[in-house]
Amino acid sequence: MGTFDPASIRVVACDIFGTTVDWRTGVADQAARIAADRGVGLDAGAFADAWRERYLPSLRRVNRGERDWVPLDTLHRESLDDLLDERGVAGAFDEAARRRLVHAWHRLPAWRDAVPGLARLRRRHVVTTLSNGGFALLTTLVKAEGLPFDCIVSAELARAYKPAPRAYLTVAELLDVDPGQVLLVAAHRWDIDGARDAGLATAFLERPLEKGPGRTADRAADVAADLAVTGFDHLADVLGC
Amino acid sequence: MGTFDPASIRVVACDIFGTTVDWRTGVADQAARIAADRGVGLDAGAFADAWRERYLPSLRRVNRGERDWVPLDTLHRESLDDLLDERGVAGAFDEAARRRLVHAWHRLPAWRDAVPGLARLRRRHVVTTLSNGGFALLTTLVKAEGLPFDCIVSAELARAYKPAPRAYLTVAELLDVDPGQVLLVAAHRWDIDGARDAGLATAFLERPLEKGPGRTADRAADVAADLAVTGFDHLADVLGC
């Protein structure tokens, strides 16, 4: 990590949920509306947290080969169904409500530094998504928020979820660069660890509020990355864009 | 084709070489410069034409399974090597010159209506590339010309070249829509025919100058498409964008 050279970076690959967009606020706000439409009381923040907690375990079952590849929408739907059962409110959310909830992940608010910071990074680099979200999900989300990505890369294209090495290496293959010429930007230690193990350069982007006011997000001091930054604008500063 | 309903279209998928960018001018201009650097005389327009003529036959060998999938850059390189041999100028173009020539296809000028027309189409639709060019090629080309696509879809993602049905169906799968909700825009009859056979809606975009001043491009009267338009601005008019 002492050998990191910003001039070697050609592609900036950005994690989305938590790093580029505020999934918790987005999912909680939409869940609160959908619940209110049905006259159901819901602690929407806790609901979003509980749903997100099922995310990594659900990916792992795919990456370990315990089940065939399925898109993230399918994993989200399965964990939603489980969650509603567990909370004893399954009867209050019909098929249409569940579809709306799954699609909440397609429309999430960007962190404020994302659009201006990515626009600066894009001047000198190819800037892509690299998310476990599906290709359609990412295209919809990026378009709605006006995020200035040059292209969309999803784990779906690799049929392997991060942190599987194949998910990271697919970015380098598709964009015809060496893995070390790709800088993975993420707010999560597991993602940074996966990217580093696959040979990518890494930038940890600290999002202390990602998990809401009462919970602790990953902190720079605990993550072994080539760079640690506080936002996309800061990353653009560091890379001289 | 009498049943075409513009309101059913959710995705506009655009062919690139010839339809969105002027490959002949771009390749000929760059080839003329590369030849001049080596002191070689070259009829650059005829050279670009002869190179392009080897394009469809080279794709067919892949689609018929006569060889494994290879990226378009590889096909371009092989047909370039053949062409230089055939013209007796192989010695004048070394490895570096040949790489520059292959990369000429990564930097091609957009037709004048493309950027403003696509910007209008993008307001109401997801607008994507659907080209036989590789993912890296398309990302580079689209970025350099500032073409406002929402995402990049390449035949590389299907590992099948247009006009194979799989190339067209991959757009619908990735963007999670029905094939009939995708409008394929192309200036070539073979592409329109392939898209229609795969169940996509089709718009023939006439580019009379695509093949240069002396040669005849495909004409609307000879093509069976849902729509026939004269440019991306005209397409935006027809779709009410």
**Structural domains of chain B ordered from first start:** 6-22+108-238 (3.40.50.1000), 24-104 (1.10.150.240)
Determine the average pLDDT of the residues in B17-41.
95
> What pLDDT, on a 0 to 100 scale, did the predictor assign at position B216?
86
A215 confidence band (pLDDT: 50, 70, 90): confident
> What pLDDT, on a 0 to 100 scale, did the predictor assign at position A230?
97
Residue B1 has pLDDT above 60, yes or no: no
> What pLDDT, on a 0 to 100 scale, did the predictor assign at position A59?
95
Strand (E) or helix (H) holding B238:
helix B232-238
Residue of B nearest to A154 (CA): B174
Residue A235 has pLDDT above 80, yes or no: yes
A12-16, A74-78, A213-217, B21-25: least confidently modelled range? A213-217
Residue B213 has pLDDT above 90, yes or no: no
How far away is chain A from the Cα of B134, in angstroms, using its nearest Cα? 8
Residue of B nearest to A122 (CA): B143
Rounded Cα distance, A21 and A137, in Å: 13
Which among A139, A157, A176 has the least Cβ separation from residue B126? Answer: A139
Residue A2 has pLDDT above 70, yes or no: no
Phi-psi region of A200 (alpha: psi -120 to 50; beta: other; left: phi over 0): beta
Determine the average pLDDT of the residues in B126-132.
98
Residue B116 has pLDDT above 80, yes or no: yes
Residue B82 has pLDDT above 80, yes or no: yes
Residue-averaged pLDDT of chain B:
96
User: Cβ(A196)–Cβ(A3) under 8 Å?
Assistant: no
**Which pLDDT tens digit goes with each residue over A148-173?**
999 999 999 999 999 999 999 999 99
A14-28, A79-93, A204-218, B225-239: least confidently modelled range? A204-218
Residues present in chain A in total: 241
Contacts of residue A134 in chain B, CB cutoff 8 Å? 176
Strand (E) or helix (H) holding B143:
helix B135-145
Here the ipTM equals 0.95
Residue of B nearest to A129 (CA): B151
Residue A82 has pLDDT above 80, yes or no: yes
> What pLDDT, on a 0 to 100 scale, did the predictor assign at position B214?
79
User: Cβ(A176)–Cβ(A205) under 8 Å?
Assistant: no
Determine the average pLDDT of the residues in A1-29.
93
Residue B75 has pLDDT above 90, yes or no: yes
Determine the average pLDDT of the residues in A91-115.
97
**Which pLDDT tens digit goes with each residue over B146-191?**
999 999 999 999 999 999 999 999 999 999 999 999 999 999 999 9
Instruction: Annotate B185-218 with DSSP letters as a single string.
Output: EES-HHHHHHHHHTT-EEEEE--TTTT-TTSPPP
Query: DSSP secondary-structure letter at B111?
Result: P
pLDDT over 70, % of chain B:
99
- The 3-state secondary structure of chain A reads CCCCCHHHCCEEEECCECCCECHHHHHHHHHHHHHHHCCCCCCHHHHHHHHHHCHHHHHHHHHCCCCCCCCHHHHHHHHHHHHHHHCCCHHHCCHHHHHHHHHHCCCCCECCCHHHHHHHHHHHCEEEECECCCHHHHHHHHHHHCCCCCECCEHHHHCCCCCCHHHHHHHHHHHCCCHHHEEEEECCHHHHHHHHHCCCEEEEECCCCCCCCCCCCCCHHHCCCCEEECCHHHHHHHCCC
Structure tokens at B82: 């053949």
Contacts of residue B175 in chain A, CB cutoff 8 Å? 135-136, 139
CB-based contacts of A141, cutoff 8 Å, min separation 6:
A16, A21, A105, A106, A107, A108, A133, A147
Contacts of residue A175 in chain B, CB cutoff 8 Å? 135-136, 139
